Each structure stands twice: as C-alpha cells, then as structure tokens.
Amino acid sequence: MRIKQVSIFLENTEGRLDEVLKILAQGNVMLRSVSLADTMEYGVLRMIAEEPEKAKQLLKDAGFAARIDEILAVEVPDAVGSLAKVVAMIHEAGINIGYIYGLSIDGDGAPIAIKTDDNAKAEALLEAAGVKTIGMENL
C-alpha cells in the first residue's frame, strides 16, 4: 500500500531538528517513523505522521520547506536475502528506487518505506508476489 510521507528540508545547523520536533509535538502530531539524511549544508527529514497534512501545514506555517510524497510501505520477511528479493523485483521491472529506510512499527517482518519512480507499478508487482504492503491504518 502507499502511504504519505512528510519531507522537510533543513539547514544543517544546530537545533533545527529540535525545532521541527517541538513544532510537531506542540501541534499534537504523532510520528511513527523518521529518517534524517544530511550533507554539509542541508538535511532531508522524512517522517511518517498520523496526520501528514497537519504536520506539513504546521511546518510551513513555521517557515520550513515541507512537502508530502507518496511512498510504499512493505513488510520484508525476517530472513536472509528477503530485502534483496524485494529490491530485485522492483529493479527487474525497470522501476528506480530513490531511497529506502526502516519503519518503526510492529509487524511480523522488517517494515520498510520505499520511494520509487512508479509507486503504483511497484506496489502491484510486490503484492502479486505476496509481499505484504502496509497502509496508513497499520501505522
């Protein structure tokens, strides 16, 4: 299934992450997973929030560049080579993966978020192969 992810572009300076998290906490936004990738000058904070539109608006109102992206959430079986199989299916279908990160939600396997250049095709492919997808209702 596809879920909504909030992405925030942050200057790589002291206190910026703290500021974002305080805004969301004060706005009563529940976060389910976060991923932060950085460079010398900026970072990209990706979050799965229970109310993504609310999170985006709170951050925009505070002057942050935020957007919502649709991503896939799948449960990779807890076995050697499982992630390799999922990635190979997507690659062999000619779909590019932009990034992957782990999700911190309960499940039988290892939940991950995947951003591809064709989420609908990747989702159909994985579901047909029996890969469990995760929707917003499972967060």
Cα separation, 64 vs 16, in Å, equals 10
Q: Retrieve residue 4's tokens.
A: 């909504």
CATH topology of domain 70-138: Alpha-Beta Plaits (3.30.70)
Q: What is the pLDDT of residue 116?
A: 85
Give mean pLDDT, residues 125-129: 91
Q: 70-138: same fold as 2-69?
A: no
Say if residue 139's pLDDT is above 70.
no
Q: Retrieve residue 107's tokens.
A: 């499940």
Give the pTM. Answer: 0.77
What percentage of the chain carries pLDDT values higher than 90?
Answer: 55
Domain ranges of the chain: 2-69, 70-138
Using 50, 70 and 90 to split pLDDT, how confident is the model at 105? low
Beta strands in 21-118 (DSSP E): 31-38, 42-49, 65-76, 97-102, 110-116
Domain 2-69 has CATH 3.90.930.12: no
Q: What is the pLDDT of residues 11-26, one digit of tens each?
A: 888 889 999 999 999 9
